[in-house]
Structure 1
Amino acid sequence: MTSQPSATPASTADRQPLGAAGIALGPLDGRYRSAVEPLVDHLSEAALNRNRIHVEVEWFVHLAEGRVLPGLEPLTDEQKAGLRAIVTDFDADSVAELAETERVTVHDVKAVEYFIAARLEGLGLAHLKPLVHFACTSEDINNLAYAVGVRDAVEQVWLPAARAAVDTISAMAATAAETPMLSRTHGQPATPTTLGKEMAVFVHRLGRQIARVERTEYLGKINGATGTYAAHLCAAPDADWPALSRSFVEHLGLTWNPLTTQIESHDWQAELYADVSRFNRILHGFCVDVWSYISIGYFAQIPVAGATGSSTMPHKVNPIRFENAEANLELSCALLDSLGATLIESRWQRDLTDSTSQRNIGVALGHSVLALTNVTKGMGQLQVAEPVLAEDLDHNWEVLGEAVQTVMRAEAIAGVEGMDNPYERLKELTRGQRVDAARMREFVQGLGLSDDAETRLLALTPAAYTGLAARLAAEFGGR
């Protein structure tokens, strides 16, 4: 008889709280931080605030240089450098100061305004405090700050990661361009291809989506509380405010949106997220295919020294890179799809649903970047098992039925006798049964084909029946 434990398990109330230790709630800021850390510099809350300061400072300089108001004079080079240093010197202490200010203002953009204003006296610009956030609504600053952050995150982090992942697939497409492989349509043996050509299909598809993302227009606006420049005109009726707005937005490296409500409409974000999501889904299909090829032995995984595949089955090397990528691509798509659907709607001239939504852009792109990292690493741990591919082809001579019946059709058109019902005759030979090399050649020799046609078919093997696959892989599988 076994003894029972005398003590009851500790209740959850007795456990030490982990949150106080600064431990991350989500995996992107915890377990997977190293893979997505570059995004922090563009899409974190701190990065958003730094970008807000950047927009506010540049607007301050823009107005001063344009002398749009009486009493404004061009800034000295030292003053402009000092203003821009507020952005470049933004650090952990700055983050803490902003947070303390926001606890008082209970408004994030107002805290940014006060943060900048507090530094003007040291630059000899205290008299220009009213110029900070001049004629702006919060969304004038936010839409531009987000556009800058998303642009830099996509161009400096997501696109390089996407290109790196696709390059690994392209490299396999090149090295395996002539490696014959049995195709499977509807999961069944079909006309052979080459492994490289099948990899090249994904390179081509993913490359088109990358090109779409590369063409993204990052829109921005700065036109006041409801997009009418009303306050601007009251303060400076002679200024060409639309022209000033356009030149400023373009100065930030963005595309000017001339007509908005209080908010920039976010349509460009929906377009971008749809493109990234489509890329994700294509890559998801690739991961599923690679996983399946691993399961039937077409790929061998290179064991990593010291790594455990299964906690109980020592022989296993799990395709974890591709499984992890699948899950993160699904999470990324779910968030990107939600953002795209949510952000293009706003009640009347403004609501704040986008405020919370946009704070998850980094999470959405983070899951995609994590997946890309796993695909890149996973591809580097694969070896093509050519003997397995060759054996599979040699066990499926019936796939040559397509070639034989098509040649019979051509022979019939050329006037060769005895080529009736080619499809039906090959169906009778091949459907529901295996056909080996001897049986297929015997069948071909009994057809009465022209000498040239018979010679071509007798020389054909499943491994040689790959058409232009190698050429297609070489021509279209690169980047």
Structure 2
Amino acid sequence: MTRTAAYSAAQDRVSLAAAEPLIALGALDGRYRTAVAPLVDHLSEAALNRNRIHVEVEWFIHLCEQRVLPGLPQLTAEQVEALRSIVTGFGPEEIAELGAIEAETVHDVKAVEYFIARRLDGLGLGELKPLVHFACTSEDINNLSYAVGIRDAVEQVWLPAARQALAGLSELAQQAAEVPMLSRTHGQPATPSTLGKEIAVFVHRLSRQLRRIEQQEYLGKINGATGTYAAHLAAAPDADWPGIAQSFVEKLGLTFNPLTTQIESHDFQAELYADVARFNRILHGLCVDVWSYISIGFFRQIPVAGATGSSTMPHKVNPIRFENAEANLEISNALLDALGATLVESRWQRDLTDSSGQRNIGTALGHSVLALSNVTKGLKQLAVAEDVIAADLDANWEVLGEAIQTVMRAEAIAGVDGMENPYERLKELTRGRRVDAEKLKEFVSGLGLSKDAEARLSQLTPADYTGLAAQLAKQFAG
């Protein structure tokens, strides 16, 4: 979908981050401010108001371009630029002014209307003050403003953070693609893999979720108090209002929703939050696995100069990046799940539960962005401990029991005598006990296998028994 000059102009604007207080009740606006500050420009209250001004200004311009009412002038390029400068120049002083207006109106969207109207005289457009917020209910402005903010937050902040974390994970998977590793299923020693292949599984899963999120539609509507265009038709009965509405919504870079109540139904938001939450859950699983690998020494953490791992134990380097990420992913998902559940419901044609709920979108995505930042940093502090991984693998020769009994099955099918009950015979040899290389090779030599099969098994080690793991890791690591 192409985006017009209106959308491009909205990107060239004053940053809102500096206008926010640095001391706040929430951790995202306090301790973790640096990691999530880019979201302020899209999902803060100030950003919402700037987006409302953006939508109102563009609707004003669009109505003039469409000449839907008698007497509407054709705006000059200079007037259009001046109108859009109301949006791009929205900074700390304007935030304060708008706040003062809202304190008087006790209505956020009405305050935006008055804020814009104040500026029209200076632009030589004072006679067009009635065109501001023309035929609109508050939700016509709000739904589009939220859609623009959510889209920009996802595309300009969340997705880049996710891609950065995924790039680090892909690099680790490629680096460790050929590092043989003892697997553990149900926490027990199992058929070896490579460390890179196990990391590549997460790369593959997370990449799928990113593709879904990248293809997300962001819906919008501008059809009046109950979605009927009633006021529009009352004022201009001959105008093609659905067509005008669609072209306007698409001009904002959104997808038109042609049928709604007073509110845009928020289904796209529920879809998006479900996908982000699923990405979060997969990432949470990665954090748990990496934390566990650190705990058994498969990864060494590279100490950060000057950092302290424990207040009392000097030797410790705690895996705090992954622990922090786990907690923030859980908080993010609690909010995303709640938003996805509540936003798709509205009593009859309108209630205000969505108004309160949507003000937490920034918090929900903020905890996810914070988690992604920690994962990215945590991955950079990992070193693969190949010696520890190799020692662990060499201590578990019994995992070759699977290979031996499977070869015995193949030999039986080929007509080799003495291959009866392969599973049971290997179970008796290996279950509940450690079997070293010598004992396993002795067992193989006494089976009566064909020469080729015996040669293959006698040369097999746990480190070699990784199948296509390295190939799969390289194929899917990125």
What TM-score do the two structures reach when normalised by structure 1? Answer: 0.95
- Is 2:260 aligned against 1:260? yes
> Counterpart of 2:56?
56
> Counterpart of 1:271?
271
> Counterpart of 1:126?
126
Mapped to 2, the partners of 1:254 and 1:384 lie a distance apart of 45
User: What amino acid sits opposite 1:168 in the alignment?
Assistant: G
- Is 2:221 aligned against 1:221? yes
Mapped to 2, the partners of 1:367 and 1:346 lie a distance apart of 27
- Tell me how far 1:423 sits from its aligned partner: 0.2
> Counterpart of 1:456?
456
> Counterpart of 1:88?
88
Mapped to 1, the partners of 2:175 and 2:304 lie a distance apart of 23
Counting only pairs closer than 5 Å after superposition, residues 95-244 of structure 1 correspond to structure 2 as: 95-244=95-244
> Counterpart of 2:477?
477
Deviation track 1:348-367 (CA, whole Å, cap 9, x = no partner) reads: 00000011110000000000
Mapped to 2, the partners of 1:48 and 1:125 lie a distance apart of 25
Unaligned runs of 5+ in 2: 1-20
Task: Give SS of 1:222's match.
Answer: coil
Mapped to 1, the partners of 2:277 and 2:411 lie a distance apart of 48
> Counterpart of 1:7?
none
Mapped to 1, the partners of 2:131 and 2:256 lie a distance apart of 22
- Tell me how far 1:113 sits from its aligned partner: 0.2
Mapped to 2, the partners of 1:453 and 1:425 lie a distance apart of 17
- Is 2:437 aligned against 1:433? no
> Counterpart of 1:361?
361
What TM-score do the two structures reach when normalised by structure 2? Answer: 0.95
Mapped to 1, the partners of 2:201 and 2:389 lie a distance apart of 19
Contact 2:22 2:29 in 1 (8 A): no
- Tell me how far 1:476 sits from its aligned partner: 1.2
Task: Give SS of 1:119's match.
Answer: helix
Counting only pairs closer than 5 Å after superposition, residues 417-432 of structure 1 correspond to structure 2 as: 417-432=417-432
Mapped to 2, the partners of 1:439 and 1:138 lie a distance apart of 79
Deviation track 1:28-74 (CA, whole Å, cap 9, x = no partner) reads: 00000000000000000000000000000000000001100010121
Mapped to 2, the partners of 1:81 and 1:166 lie a distance apart of 40
- Tell me how far 1:244 sits from its aligned partner: 0.2
Contact 2:418 2:448 in 1 (8 A): yes
Task: Give SS of 1:120's match.
Answer: helix
Mapped to 2, the partners of 1:403 and 1:167 lie a distance apart of 35
Unaligned runs of 5+ in 1: 1-20
- Is 2:304 aligned against 1:304? yes
Mapped to 2, the partners of 1:139 and 1:312 lie a distance apart of 56
- Is 2:42 aligned against 1:42? yes
Mapped to 1, the partners of 2:201 and 2:253 lie a distance apart of 35
- Tell me how far 1:23 sits from its aligned partner: 2.2
- Tell me how far 1:171 sits from its aligned partner: 0.3
User: What amino acid sits opposite 1:124 in the alignment?
Assistant: G
Task: Give SS of 1:182's match.
Answer: strand
Mapped to 1, the partners of 2:245 and 2:234 lie a distance apart of 16
Mapped to 2, the partners of 1:93 and 1:429 lie a distance apart of 79
User: What amino acid sits opposite 2:380 in the alignment?
Assistant: G
Mapped to 1, the partners of 2:451 and 2:267 lie a distance apart of 64
- Tell me how far 1:135 sits from its aligned partner: 0.1
Deviation track 1:395-445 (CA, whole Å, cap 9, x = no partner) reads: 000000000000000000000000000000000000010000000000000
Deviation track 1:116-143 (CA, whole Å, cap 9, x = no partner) reads: 0000011110000000000000000000
How many aligned residue pairs are there? 458
- Tell me how far 1:22 sits from its aligned partner: 6.5
Deviant stretches of 4+, over 6 Å? none
Mapped to 1, the partners of 2:53 and 2:39 lie a distance apart of 19
Mapped to 2, the partners of 1:475 and 1:393 lie a distance apart of 24
Mapped to 2, the partners of 1:431 and 1:390 lie a distance apart of 22
CA RMSD of aligned residues (A): 0.7
